[in-house]
């Protein structure tokens, strides 16, 4: 055990990120562009809509380096660094149903006062509004001002875009709700909106929508069976020692930008197995590190899937239950144990990311044609 915490720079690399945005061909900053760096400092994300996902990924890594964690789905690739998170999106969709064409957003993009590409007001408002309703069934109040601005400066396009996305009847109702100052009512129409968006997408592109839906399902399964974060176990004969370490790890990762850690204490092997496959597996797919602590050494080998990392807190550091276990000396300061566990977890995640990015090469980056976007 090294006993030293790995030095990590968690400050936002403003110059490198600015160069990356300048070099990204055909993209827009979807949200929080006016306070981009401040939002990242406060734990927010940077969402970029791009014409070519592969080109954008290579550009991102060339300027910012490889991320600690990478989460991939059918419609977004997420890159988590020590200083923040970036999402690259090739489409604006919900479970395969595109409700605003990428090519339309990119062709109508504008340049902000700070010189960065952003969607026109109507497109930005529709993306912010419908995304929260379609995915979560709620309305984010902070987008109310954005909607009012879109109505005042880009009202005709807002109306046209809503009707194109949700159909004539529901699109008009959405537009009227926005004009009346009550966009939150859309959350009560979530089921109807999802159905209408899906039907409209299928009418416009039946084959493409079905293919994207299939890709969504496969992507969700892939994230559950090969998550981007480890499933860890903290075991030891001293129940208080394992509990203290697990609690300290939760605190440490509460300040971490690239992942969160949730701790679970198991008392029954069957319950632990059921909990994983019914609830915990979905948290791992979203990038949550799961830590289980117990004095039951045998349960580690009994679990399916087996934990990726096993930390044994032992009074005798020479004891090793299994060759792959990481043995921690229980007599050293708790902060030293936490440093070592975090270092090992971060190393595991970097290795998983490197494997996922093995396709990234140094080939020349050429700008794609806008017609390639959906």
pLDDT band for position 319 (50/70/90)? Answer: low
Mean pLDDT of the chain: 88
Q: How far apart are CA 290 and CA 280, in angstroms?
A: 8
- Helices 144-166 and 168-179 meet at what angle, rounded to 10? 170
Rounded-to-integer distance, Cα 26 and Cα 370, Å: 7
- The rounded radius of gyration (Å) of the Cα atoms in the chain is 23
What is the percentage of the chain residues whose pLDDT exceeds 70?
90
* Res 266 pLDDT > 80: no
Cβ atoms 372, 53 nearer than 8 A = no
Per-residue pLDDT tens digits for 64-99: 999 999 998 878 999 999 999 999 999 999 999 999
**For range 232-258, the mean pLDDT:** 91
Residue extents of the structural domains in the chain: 95-225, 228-331
User: What pLDDT is stored for residue 356 in this prediction?
Assistant: 83
pLDDT at 318 over 70: no
188-237 confidence digits (pLDDT tens): 999 999 999 999 999 999 999 999 999 999 989 988 888 889 999 998 88
Q: Which residue, chain included where needed, has tokens 């660094």?
A: 81
Superfamily of domain 228-331: P-loop containing nucleotide triphosphate hydrolases (3.40.50.300)
- DSSP letter at 108 equals T
Q: Round to whole Å and give the CA distance between 232 and 254.
A: 17
Higher-confidence residue: 34 or 271?
34
Kindly report each contact of residues 325-331 with a partner whose C-beta sits within 8 Å and lies 24 or more positions away, as own/partner.
328/1, 328/245, 329/1, 330/236, 330/238, 330/241
Helix 168-179 and helix 190-204: axis angle, to 10°? 130
Q: Which pair of tokens denotes residue 37?
A: 């760096």
Tokens of 264: 């679970």
Average pLDDT over residues 306-317: 83
Is 80 exceeded by the pLDDT of residue 52? Answer: yes
* Residue 374 confidence class, pLDDT cut points 50, 70, 90: low
Q: What's the pLDDT band for 2 if we cut at 50, 70, 90? A: very low
Whole-prediction pTM: 0.87
Rounded CA-CA distance 14/331 in Å is 42
């Amino acid at each position: 055990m090294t006993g030293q915490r790995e030095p990590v720079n968690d400050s936002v690399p403003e110059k490198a990120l600015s160069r990356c945005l300048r070099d990204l061909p055909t993209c827009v900053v979807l949200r929080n562009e006016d306070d981009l760096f401040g939002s990242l400092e406060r734990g927010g994300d940077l969402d970029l809509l791009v014409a070519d996902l592969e080109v954008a990924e290579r550009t991102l890594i060339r300027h910012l380096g490889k991320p600690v964690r990478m989460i991939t789905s059918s419609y977004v690739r997420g890159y988590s660094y020590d200083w923040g998170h970036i999402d690259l999106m090739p489409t604006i969709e919900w479970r395969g149903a595109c409700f605003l064409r990428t090519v339309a957003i990119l062709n109508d993009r504008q340049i902000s006062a700070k010189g960065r590409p952003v969607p026109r007001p109507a497109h930005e408002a529709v993306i912010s509004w419908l995304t929260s309703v379609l995915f979560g069934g709620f309305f984010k109040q902070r987008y109310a001002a954005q909607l009012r601005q879109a109505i005042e400066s880009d009202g005709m396009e807002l109306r046209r875009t809503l009707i194109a996305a949700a159909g004539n009847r529901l699109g008009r109702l959405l537009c009227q709700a926005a004009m009346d100052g009550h966009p939150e009512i859309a959350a009560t129409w979530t089921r109807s909106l999802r159905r209408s968006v899906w039907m409209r997408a299928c009418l416009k592109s039946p084959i493409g929508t079905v293919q994207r839906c299939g890709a969504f399902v496969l992507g969700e399964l892939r994230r559950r069976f090969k998550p981007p974060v480890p499933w860890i176990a903290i075991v030891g004969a001293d129940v208080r020692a394992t509990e203290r370490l697990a609690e300290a790890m939760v605190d440490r990762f509460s300040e971490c930008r690239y992942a969160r850690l949730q701790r679970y204490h198991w008392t029954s092997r069957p319950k632990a197995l059921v909990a994983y496959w019914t609830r915990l597996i979905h948290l791992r797919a979203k990038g949550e590190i799961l830590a289980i602590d117990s004095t039951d050494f045998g349960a580690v080998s009994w679990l399916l899937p087996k934990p990726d990392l096993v930390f044994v807190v032992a009074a005798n550091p020479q004891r090793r239950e299994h060759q792959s276990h990481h043995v921690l000396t229980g007599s050293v300061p708790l902060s030293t144990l936490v440093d070592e566990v975090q270092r090992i977890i971060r190393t595991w995640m970097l290795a998983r990311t490197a494997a996922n990015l093995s396709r990234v090469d140094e080939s020349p980056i050429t700008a794609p044609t806008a017609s390639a976007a959906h």
